[in-house]
A and B are shown apart, each in its own frame.
Chain A
């Protein structure tokens, strides 16, 4: 009997040991992928950022000159930063406000509301595809559909893509138009809010505006927080729309940072400089993310 118990104990022990490492075995593809395609490139781009590297010759160490160059010599650096900040400032709040607004409206239980959800979600499945960029060109070019419709209301032609003051806004509209996935996330958040809270508010005689600001909005702040971070990370790297619709023009008015980075890396083959640019972008995105995380305790409401 004693002997028997010992063998089971031993067997159990070996099972535990095996289990300890079998988990590692299962995640090993990810570890290899992480090292090869994420960690190594992450460190490598930092190292490259201190080199002059054109792919044709081996990299040459140049110290901080890539960083000096962007801040002192390259006029396109401040320009693309300015354009990108402006784009993030228009597109992200625009998208989230729309997403929240529509989510509130389609959160009612009436017939046919699913049709609306489908319609509002549809544009976001096309993401950054070229077809949507093409569509935007046809909608907003000088003789395009939007001006055609406006002419029926006697509105003079607007140069949506050719005017330096408007072009970036026109590009941002694509992003705002694709608010569907953010909307669905808001919708999921709205469903989590306990019905009793609304009933209590109604009993207390609160108006629907007050209910929104004092019940719905505070309880949605974790979702807003999440959406905000995801959208900011993506917006800073926006590429296809500007690349295909305007090519960064007119006069670099839509020259988003990702275009600037792409051109330096893959058109001018300045791999070192492009790496330095990518690290600046990384630092900017991380600072924004950190800022939002830090500020979250002042505005994000967490239930205990």
Chain B
């Protein structure tokens, strides 16, 4: 009986708090379908009439470039970044997890310490490097570093995962005539699908949400990603056309939200095994 009461109390507290967690998002969704005059007129959640107009007009973007362009841009930046992150991180993680080589300990410690290197301290020289390379206003500042495994977090995550796979599997593949690269591709990677998937999801969401770096590296509207486009919409719509901004906000968070709901298990596993930032 006491236990039941306690569970009921827990349920109650959890329910009340979860309203605070999701109500703002739900409100944003419904408000994006309301006429402008209705949004802040009352706390009623459901619109008196559903209006699509906000989406149609918001989609126009800057007039010259529509949100279609911005969506495509976001994908052009995010997808190669994610793929290269996965490829480079698994190759490097394989090196650390399965081979011994000179200075390995020092290099591994160095890799772990870059996990704690604040991005702010290297932001100025990185900008200057990309400027000198002529990479500004392109997605290369995202893609090339990803291809060179500069996201130590994922290396660490995959090293941990590879270590959990018995070495006997590598050995038997070697006896069967696999070279070392074959062991990675044919044995380790297929067994690491969950970890690779987690890494991909996290990198997708982080790159998708990234605002500071695109703000610095991208400067022409034709190359804007969704985050920049949304910020631009705020300026264009001033403080009047709320529903238009709300509608575009909803659009930008749809991809991460969908990934989250389809791949929930991987989220929790990825976070739990490695301890991720938020």
Which chain A residues have a beta carbon within 8 Å of chain B's beta carbons?
19-27, 29-34, 36-38, 40-42, 44-45, 48, 55, 95, 102, 105-106, 108, 110, 112, 116-132, 134-135, 138-139, 143-145, 148-149, 152, 177-182, 184-185, 187-188, 223, 226-227, 229-231, 233-234, 236-237, 239-240, 243-244, 258, 261-262, 265-266, 271, 274-275, 278-279, 281-282, 285, 289
Whether B7 pairs with A110 at a CB distance below 8 angstroms is yes
Known contacts A125-B205, A135-B24, A135-B25; A181/B271 CB under 8 A: yes
Q: Which of B254-278 contact A (CB under 8 A)?
A: 256-257, 260, 264, 267-268, 271-273, 275-278
25 example contacts (A-B, Cβ-Cβ < 8 A) are as follows A21-B101, A26-B99, A29-B91, A44-B128, A45-B125, A106-B14, A119-B22, A120-B17, A121-B268, A125-B256, A126-B256, A129-B211, A130-B249, A135-B28, A135-B249, A143-B40, A152-B43, A181-B278, A187-B272, A231-B278, A233-B118, A240-B212, A243-B211, A279-B121, A281-B120
Q: Tell me, rounded to whole Å, the shortest Cβ–Cβ distance linking B128 to chain A.
A: 7
In this complex, what residue of A is CB-closest to B267? A121
Output the least CB separation between A37 and chain B (Å). Answer: 5
Q: B250 in the interface, Cβ–Cβ < 8 Å?
A: yes
Q: Is there an interface contact between A33 and B24, defined as CB atoms closer than 8 Å? A: no
With A184-B272, A226-B275, A265-B123: A26-B91 Cβ-Cβ less than 8 Å: yes
B118 touches A119 (CB 8 A): no
Give Cα A237–Cα B211 distance, bound, in whole angstroms. Answer: 13
B22 close to A33 (CB less than 8 A):
no
Closest beta carbon of chain A to B104's beta carbon, Å:
7
B234 within 8 A of A: yes
List of B residues within 8 angstroms of A125 by Cβ: 205, 256-257, 260, 267
Q: A126-B209, A138-B242 are in contact. Are A131 and B250 (CB under 8 A)?
A: yes
Contact across chains for A148 and B40 when beta carbons are under 8 A apart: yes
Q: Is B198 part of the contact surface with A, judged by Cβ < 8 Å?
A: no
B residues near A (Cβ < 8 Å) are 7, 10-11, 13-14, 17-18, 20-22, 24-25, 27-28, 31, 40, 42-43, 88, 91-92, 94-96, 98-102, 104, 107, 110-111, 114, 116-129, 131, 145, 147-150, 155, 180, 205-206, 208-212, 215-216, 227, 230-231, 234, 242, 245-246, 249-250, 252-253, 256-257, 260, 264, 267-268, 271-273, 275-278
**Judging by beta carbons under 8 Å apart, are A45 and B101 in contact?**
no
Which residues does chain B contribute within 8 Å of A106, judged by CB atoms? 14
A182 to B276, CA, bound (A): 8
Instruction: Give Cα distance in the complex from A34 to B14, angstroms.
Output: 44
Which residue of chain A has the shortest Cβ distance to B149 in the bound complex? Answer: A30
**Distance of A44 Cα from B125 Cα, bound (Å):** 6
Residues A22 and B7 in contact in the complex (CB < 8 Å), given A130-B252, A145-B27, A177-B21? no
B110 smallest CB distance to A (angstroms): 7
Bound-state Cα–Cα, A265 to B122, Å: 12
Nearest CB in chain A to that of B275: its residue = A185
Contact B128 A119 (CB under 8 A): no
Could you tell me if B209 and A236 are in contact, using CB atoms closer than 8 angstroms? no
The answer to whether residues A127 and B278 also contact, given A108-B7, A119-B22, A271-B128 and a CB cut-off of 8 A, is yes
Q: What is the distance, in angstroms, from B88's C-beta to the closest C-beta of chain A?
A: 5
Q: Is the CB of B107 within 8 A of A45?
A: no
Give the residues in chain B near A177, CB-CB below 8 Å: 20-21
Contacts of A34 in B (CB 8 A): 110-111, 114, 150
Contact of B209 among A22, A127, A179, A180 (CB under 8 A): A127
Measured between beta carbons, the chain A residues less than 8 angstroms from B271 are: 181, 184-185, 188
Contacts of A282 in B (CB 8 A): 118, 120-121
The 8 Å CB contact of B101, one of A20, A128, A149, is: A20
In the complex the two chains form, what is the Cα distance from A130 to B206 in whole Å? 13
Do A41 and B148 touch across chains, with their CB atoms under 8 A apart? no
Q: How far is the CA of A82 from the CA of B78 in the complex (A)?
A: 36
Chain B hits for A185, CB < 8 A: 271-272, 275-276
Query: Which residues from chain B contact A112 at a C-beta distance below 8 Å?
Result: 11
For the complex formed, measure the closest distance between the CB of A30 and the CB atoms of chain B, giving whole angstroms: 4
In the assembled complex, the Cα of A102 lies from the Cα of B10 at a distance in Å of 10
| Residue of B116, B148, B278 touching A36 (CB-CB under 8 A) | B148
The reply to whether B114 and A266 contact each other, CB–CB distance below 8 Å, is no
Distance in angstroms between the alpha carbons of A32 and B88 in the assembled complex? 12
Q: Roughly how many angstroms separate A287 CA and B163 CA in the complex, as a whole number? A: 33
For residue A21, which residues in chain B have a CB less than 8 angstroms away from its CB? 101
Cα separation A137 to B180 with both chains bound (whole Å): 54
Chain B, residue nearest A33 (CB): B148
**A residues within 8 A CB of B245?**
134
